[in-house]
Amino acid sequence: MNVGSPHAAVMPALSGEVLAVLDRTSGGLTGREIQRLAKHGSVAGVWNALNRLVSAGVVTSDTHGRTIVYRANRHHLAWPAIHELLGLRGALFDLIADTAAALPGLLVATDFGSTARGDGGERSDIDLLLVRRPDAIEVEWDLGVEHLRAVVERATGNQLQVVDVSKRQWERMTADDDPLVRSIAEDGIALYPPSRSTQR
């Protein structure tokens, strides 16, 4: 799975980026605004994608003088399926969080690296920090981590790379200003414990 744009597996890349931009706004946007907000694509490429999407009816266009404003057509029969596809990134984080929550002795689960930044591709690993309690039973913990790997890899096709540390190890790494600690502080996405403020 393309961990930066998961919908790309079943949706033409540039069309998917355009739809992702329009899905995030209730207002109208010009072609240049959409191109600026999209992860990829030239102005001409975005306009071509918009023309295809307007022809398909999933995007509407209104002309105001010389300006064309585009909006997602949320009344289209296909829009619920499109919206669900565009939400695969959040679904991935939910899957990891829900599965990791069952680990016996889990203190912290944080996604980091290219998946967290949203700039990975189809061959990118999914990087996950797991911090366990001092009283975690090793055999049960190891079995739980292997189950988590299997669930994520089966759901995505990508390898799950786990950084597995004890609470004491993580405290030592933090005190030593380990580069991994800095990286996670900059772009990590906290998956456990749950937080309403988590941005995904």
User: Could you give the number of structural domains in the chain?
Assistant: 2
Cα–Cα distance, 107 to 99 (Å, whole number): 14
Query: Whose CA is closest to 189, among 83, 104, 114?
Result: 114
Residues 94 and 144 in one domain: yes
Question: Is residue 199 one of the residues assigned to a domain?
Answer: no
From 85, 102, 117, the end of a domain falls on: 85
User: Could you tell me the pTM of the whole model?
Assistant: 0.81
CA distance 39 to 21: 9
Q: How far apart are CA 188 and CA 178, in angstroms?
A: 14
CATH code of the domain in which 144 resides: 3.30.460.10
Tens of pLDDT, residue by residue, the chain (200 residues): 888 878 777 777 789 999 999 999 988 999 999 999 987 889 899 999 999 999 999 999 999 999 999 999 999 999 999 999 999 999 999 999 999 999 999 999 999 999 999 888 888 999 999 999 999 999 999 999 999 999 999 999 999 999 999 999 999 999 999 999 999 999 999 999 986 444 44
Question: For residue 193, is the peptide bond before it cis, meaning its omega torsion is within 30 degrees of 0?
Answer: yes
Phi, psi of 129 (to 5 degrees): -90, 130
Domain presence at residue 200: no
